[in-house]
């Protein structure tokens, strides 16, 4: 039997957060509902962040309230602080994600605080989630290259991964936020990170700016990673990462994984439908 590799779908959150035109809530709900039929186990639906910082995600609660939930899918939301966590829980998010940065420049741009301050700010989320028995995923951004600070040392990524592990994150997703990673730099980063966290608790989150995301996924597979974040239609970019193109397209990752002999459990025809919806939302 083919080995399973999971794709964690990101389009409704990471894909749409950067769109300048405000996407109608009903369109976001239609996208999530289509994705729910594709066979994903996890979909990141939205983020409960400051609407002053990311206006596109201001309708987070309405989106979660409007979707038709498939029992086999966990619907996730990004939460930067306790306020976001509480709102995400009230809206019925099944799990939440906290997000730190491997560089000080990106931490400042994305969260308006230092790396250490961001970890401290996550503590109340972790405490509340423990009481609520809610799973918390962690992200580390700019794992190879930062738009503000340049090349990022693998050891800097490993330190943040260790901090998120110590907080209790069940999985840490490694973000090549501006899509400048290459198999060599991704491999060097992963070797350092694997000293802190096992491959089965790590995910690759690669943007495709330089067209190397699929190669970076293959390099990560070689080191044991079996979860990858992607967005249908290659939607996305990060509002605080100038020059970042979209996430690697889910349908491309699915095709590559199948060609390599892995099972993703996804329905290609539904993915194509979702990708068309997603492309229609792009400004
Ligand atoms: P701040 O301005 O330093 O903090 O922002 P603040 O506490 O002064 O809050 C400012 C205002 O926002 C206040 O409102 C707060 O109440 C409100 P005011 O009093 O001025 O009317 N506020 C909130 N509103 C709703 N929900 C909340 C919330 N928190 C505060 N949760 C803050 C600090 C962290 C809030 C801000 O920097 C922020 O929201 N950042 C999020 C940025 C973001 O979403 N970035 C994109 C996601 S990360 C990413 O894409 C990377 C990733 O994909 C991986 C990768 O690719 O590498 C994950
Ligand atoms: Mg991203």
pLDDT of residue 244: 65
**Pairing state between β 74-78 and 171-176:** unpaired
Domains in the chain: ranges and CATH? 6-281 (3.20.20.70)
Q: Return all residues near 255 (Cβ < 8 A) that are at least 6 apart.
A: 268
pLDDT of residue 168: 97
ipTM value of the model? 0.98
* Residue 178, CA distances (Å) to 66, 219, 226, 240 in order: 32, 18, 22, 10
203-227 residues labelled b (16+ CB within 10 A) or e (exposed): bbbbbbbbebbbbbbebbbeeebbb
pLDDT of residue 243: 65
Measuring from atom 23 of ligand 1, which residue has the nearest CA? 50
Residue 34 annotated among the catalytic residues of the structure: no
User: Ligand 1: distance of its center to the CA of 208 in Å?
Assistant: 25
Q: Split the chain (283 residues) into runs of 10 and give each run's mean pLDDT.
A: 97 94 97 98 98 97 98 98 98 98 97 97 98 98 97 98 98 97 98 98 96 97 98 84 82 98 98 96 83
Lookup result for tokens 């100038």: 242
Share of the chain above pLDDT 90, in %: 94
* Residue 196, CA distances (Å) to 126, 155, 167, 202, 258 in order: 19, 10, 13, 10, 30
Alpha carbon 271 to chain centroid, angstroms: 18
* Helices 154-167 and 115-132: angle between axes, nearest 10 degrees: 30
Q: How many CB atoms lie within 10 A of CB 26?
A: 12
Q: Which residues line ligand 1 (CB under 6 A)?
A: 14, 17, 47-54, 78, 80-81, 83-84, 87, 99, 110-112, 139, 141, 175, 177, 205, 238-240
> What are 49-106's pLDDT values in tens digits?
999 999 999 999 999 999 999 999 999 999 999 999 999 999 999 999 999 999 999 9
Q: For a ligand 1 pocket test, name from 10, 45, 49, 139 the mutation site with the most ligand atoms within 8 angstroms of its C-beta.
A: 49
Cα distance between residue 171 and residue 164, in whole Å: 9
Alpha carbon 29 to chain centroid, angstroms: 19
This model's pTM is above 0.95: yes
Cα distance between residue 170 and residue 57, in whole Å: 25
């Amino acid at each position: 039997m083919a080995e399973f590799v999971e794709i964690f779908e990101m389009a409704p959150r990471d894909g749409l957060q950067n769109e300048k035109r405000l996407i109608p809530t009903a369109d976001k709900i239609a996208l999530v509902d289509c994705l729910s039929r594709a066979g994903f186990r996890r979909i990141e639906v939205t983020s409960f962040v400051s609407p002053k910082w990311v206006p596109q995600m201001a309708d987070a609660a309405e989106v979660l309230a409007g979707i038709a939930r498939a029992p086999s899918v966990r619907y996730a939301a990004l939460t930067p602080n306790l306020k976001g966590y509480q709102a995400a829980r009230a809206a019925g998010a099944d799990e939440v994600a906290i997000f730190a940065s491997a560089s000080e420049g990106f931490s400042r741009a994305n969260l308006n605080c230092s790396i250490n301050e961001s970890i401290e700010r996550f503590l109340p989320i972790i405490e509340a989630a423990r009481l609520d028995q809610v799973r918390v995923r962690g992200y580390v951004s700019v794992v190879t290259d930062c738009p503000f600070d340049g090349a990022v040392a693998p050891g800097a990524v490993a330190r943040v991964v260790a901090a998120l592990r110590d907080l209790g994150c069940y999985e840490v997703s490694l973000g090549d936020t501006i899509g400048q990673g290459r198999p060599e730099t991704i491999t060097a980063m992963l070797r350092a990170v694997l000293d802190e966290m096992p491959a089965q608790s790590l995910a690759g989150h690669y943007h495709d700016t330089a067209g190397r995301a699929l190669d970076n996924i293959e390099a990560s597979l070689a080191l044991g990673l079996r979860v990858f974040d992607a967005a249908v239609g290659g939607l996305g970019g990060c509002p605080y990462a100038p020059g970042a193109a979209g996430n690697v397209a889910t349908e491309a990752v699915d095709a590559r994984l199948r060609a390599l002999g892995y099972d993703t459990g996804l329905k290609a025809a539904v993915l194509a439908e979702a990708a068309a919806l997603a492309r229609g939302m792009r400004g």
